[in-house]
Amino acid sequence: MTTNQTLVPSSAGPSGASAASSERKRLGVAGFLQAYGALTALVILFIYNAITSPNFLTVQSLVNVQLRQAAPVAIVALGMALVIATGGIDLSVGSVMAIAGQIGALSVASGMPAGLAILLALAASLVVGLFNGTLVSRFGVQPIIATLIMFIAGRGIAQLLTMGQLVTIRNEAFGFLGLGRIGPLPFQVVVFLLIWLAVALVVRYTAYGRYLIATGANEPAARLAGVPVHTAKLSAYAVAAGLAGLVGLIEVSRLSGSDANNTGMGMELDAIAAVAVAGTPLAGGRLTPTRVVIGAVMLRLLQNTMIAKGLPREAAQIAQGLIIIAAIIIQRRSGGKR
């Protein structure tokens, strides 16, 4: 009996303890990178630009360039994060931006008051989000398929609204969305900060925030616990589309015109990338809005840095893709526990 027992490897022995220690260390490093990798990269980029770019630390650069350019991506990424928290994905946000931008521009150009035009465009965005959410939550369509439908059809709808023609607008009230300022801050930056605060408070302190997380973490268990899974999913897609529509209006307002072919092009990938590098598991069940914002700001700063150093935009896109791959690998190594 004693002989047989000695033949069985024991994890309590020196080699077992060493393996366990190595595993904890591996998970610790991966967990740290998942939680703070984007923040670390942002700090490094910030220091690098502060040293190599003389004008980087000016208000003009930090607020009017870096933060203003990051704000639209961050707003859409926060909406995307709500969807991903439920275990879904939304590929249609770029097309929703185009639809909202076209409706807003056409409405203003036809003489409609700016406020009413904005409400109409946002209402259309919410309808698209409810359509996506209904397919996913009520009919059980895979999120990537459900939103792929609107990714394709939505762009076509936006183009049909004006038959592919550019719509130029001259309206001071509408233009305030993209060009206005509140004190030293661009209006879109103020909007971004308010949305960030609202999402953070909802996720942290409301039952709805807990419903989102529970739905993504374990949907069958959430149903048994009485969580309104259908409502959580439906509302997440609606909010994501509404925020995308808002950003579409901001972009059209900033450019004083709407181009259905280009408005929101690639935004879905930017938003998903921001969520991924923030350490949010793409399988759902976790959400930290501040990390999502850090991810969006870091990716935009990385792109701006590479372009400022003379590299083509395509190189920045390749770098962004490599960062996403690294983020996914880190998530797998850490077990997605952070």
Per-residue pLDDT reduced to its tens digit, 284-323: 888 999 999 999 999 999 999 998 888 888 887 788 788 8
The number of beta carbons lying within 10 Å of the beta carbon of residue 45 is 17
- Average pLDDT over the chain reads 87
Residue type, 256: S
Cα–Cα distances (Å) from 167 to 109, 242, 257, in that order, read 8, 22, 5
What are the tokens at 184? 């030293």
Task: Indicate the domain borders of the chain.
Answer: 28-334
Amino acid at 286: R
Confidence band of 336 (pLDDT split at 50, 70, 90): low
| pLDDT score at 320 | 78
Residue 3 banded pLDDT, cuts 50, 70, 90: very low
Phi-psi region of 285 (alpha: psi -120 to 50; beta: other; left: phi over 0): left
Report the candidate in 264, 270, 243 with the shortest Cα–Cα distance to residue 252.
264
Q: pLDDT (tens digit, 9 = 90+) per residue, 172-196?
A: 999 999 999 999 899 999 999 999 9
Q: What dotted CATH number matches 28-334?
A: 1.10.3470
**Would you say residue 14 has pLDDT above 60?**
no
**pLDDT for res 25:** 52
Predicted local confidence at residue 5, as pLDDT: 43
Distance between CA atoms of 206 and 224, rounded to whole angstroms?
20
Mean pLDDT value across residues 36-57: 90
Beta strand 167-168 with 181-182 is: unpaired
pLDDT higher than threshold 90 for residue 70: yes
Contact status, residue 189 vs residue 68, Cβ threshold 8 Å: yes
Burial class (CB in 10 A: 0-12, 13-18, 19+), 186: buried
Per-residue model confidence (pLDDT) at position 158: 94
Paired tokens of 102? 């076209």
**pLDDT value for 272:** 92
Across 96-122, average pLDDT: 95
Per-residue model confidence (pLDDT) at position 64? 86
Query: Do the beta carbons of residue 277 and residue 288 sit within 8 Å?
Result: no
Nearest residue to 240 via CA among 80, 36, 5: 80
Tell me the per-residue pLDDT of 213-226, one tens digit each, with 9 for 90 and over: 999 999 999 999 99
Confidence label for 8 from pLDDT (cuts 50, 70 and 90): very low
Q: What is the mean pLDDT of residues 101-127?
A: 95
Q: The pTM is what?
A: 0.88
